Amino acid sequence: MENSLKNGDFTDIHAAYTLNKSGIEKMKAIDEEMTKIMDDVSAIQQKRAHAEREQSRKKRKLTVEP
């Protein structure tokens, strides 16, 4: 890369820039996908916690009623 700069050969520099740019774009896409997955996991955890509370409430109600 350094030699390319000294020699004025911008082909290697352009290739490195393009590779770096595509890597950054791929990282952004992965980050967005991970964020969506974490949001989905959070929603599932909230639904599960709610279902567990409801189940516990129903069990308590059954044991209290004669």
Residue 15, both tokens: 């290739």
How confident is the model at residue 5, as a pLDDT?
63
Q: What residue type is 3 in one-letter code?
A: N
Residue ranges of E strands in the chain = none
pLDDT at 60 exceeding the cut of 90 = no
Residue 57 CA to residue 64 CA, distance in Å, equals: 11
How large is the average pLDDT for residues 1-26? 83
Residues 14-57: pLDDT tens digits? Answer: 888 999 999 999 999 999 999 999 999 999 999 999 999 999 99
Domain count, the chain: 1
Residue 60 CA to residue 29 CA, distance in Å, equals: 47
Domain that holds residue 48: 2-64
Which pTM was predicted?
0.62
